[in-house]
Structure 1
Amino acid sequence: MTRYSEDLHHFEHKLKNTFDDFLKKIGLYNSDDENREGNCNEKRIIYFSPRLDFHENDKEYVILTELPGIEKEEIRVELKDDDRVLNISGEIKQDEKLEKGKAHLLERRYGRFHRSIVLSENVNPDGITANFHDGVLKLIILKQEPTKTKKVSIL
């Protein structure tokens, strides 16, 4: 049996309000969330970052990203040459047939996702391959020789 603590209850309430305020500021809070306790038929996640693994060897970088429940045509992978930022984004939609029924438990993620990774200068922007199989996006990014530093003589 756990003893009720009014201080703990107030702390928990204050923490929840602080988190809700943060979500409102960044635009991820739905005003309907306040009245949806116990209602599993509503979508709760609007935006999320998928999990990934980032590996490196002598010749390449390998990025594995978990994206279950999405078609490869719905995934966008972009690399901006000027700032070396790799962006992975898209949207996972809930099955419309399931939206109409009564849900008892919703634990899967639905909504827009976005993940950005800053790569080092030795990335070859033309040497990127992508493969999507069994809900895992695999990116292989080849390395290139770093530009050699040239010593300049002062006259």
Structure 2
Amino acid sequence: MVKKEDRVPEKKPESLFGGRISNLIESIFSDSFFPKELFRSDWDPKIDVVDKGNVISVKADLPGIDEKDLNVSLEDHVLTIEGKREEEHEEKKDGYRRLERSFGSFSRSIALPAGIAADKVEAVYKKGVLNIEIPKNPDKAPKKLEVKVS
């Protein structure tokens, strides 16, 4: 049995060599060489996935997205939510202005377990929140096999 005090401390990559490796990587991939937009979507909405027993519930916060700019699909047990939020064009006048709200397109894919009833999925988009209910089909649920160990 390994005692807590005998364990080797975990080293995170960013802590190696006093953080110099992380700094080097950050400088190589800085905006001067590669814009951050190449490595991520414009914004990533927050999504909750909850298994409620007989149904899988998906809730996505999508504030500011028009229903016509939202696409939800289910193919091969993968739920995909895509959309876009348009940038608001404002005239810049005298004074300080700050833009923190994200805009642009996004795409999120969620792998679902086998045994769902894809033909009975219901989705409702109201007040910037997308709720998707994915019923499970008990007839198609994976079967549990017992393996005897000798």
Q: Which TM-score band (shorter chain)? A: 0.5 to 0.7
Shift of 1:133: 1.2
Whole-Å separation in 2 of the counterparts to 1:27 and 1:106:
17
Q: Does 1:56 align with 2:47?
A: no
Aligned residues: 123
How far did residue 73 of structure 1 move? 1.4
Identify the match of residue 38 of structure 2 among 3, 20, 28.
Answer: 28
Q: Secondary structure at the match of 2:68?
A: helix
Q: Distance in 2 between matches of 1:27 and 1:133?
A: 29
- Once the two structures are TM-superposed, the CA of residue 129 in structure 1 deviates from its matched residue by 0.8
Aligned to 1:66: 61
Kindly report the root-mean-square deviation, in angstroms, between the aligned alpha carbons of the 2 structures.
Answer: 3.3
Q: Report the counterpart of residue 26 of structure 2 in structure 1.
A: 16
User: Is the CA contact 1:46–1:110 (under 8 Å) kept in the aligned structure 2?
Assistant: no
Shift of 1:26: 8.6
The 1:46/1:57 distance shift into structure 2, 3 A limit, reads: closer
Matched residue type, 1:28: L
Q: Percent identical across equivalent pairs?
A: 27
The ranges of structure 1 where at least 4 consecutive aligned residues each deviate by more than 4 angstroms after the TM superposition are 10-13
Structure 2 residue runs of 5 or longer lacking an equivalent are: 1-17, 144-150
* Cα gap change, 1:46 to 1:129, in 2 (>3 Å): same
Q: Which runs of 5+ in 1 are unaligned?
A: 1-7, 30-44, 150-155
State TM-score, norm by structure 1.
0.65
SS of residue in 1 equivalent to 2:138: coil
Asked whether 1:101 is paired with 2:96, we answer no
TM-score in terms of structure 2 length: 0.67
Which whole-Å CA distance do the structure 2 matches of 1:117 and 1:18 have between them? 32
Is 1:56–1:62's contact at 8 Å kept on the other side of the alignment? Answer: yes
For 1:12 and 1:105, the matched residues in 2 are separated by: 30
Q: Which residue does the alignment assign to 2:129? A: 136
Answer yes or no: is the 8 Å Cα contact 2:117–2:135 preserved in 1.
Answer: yes
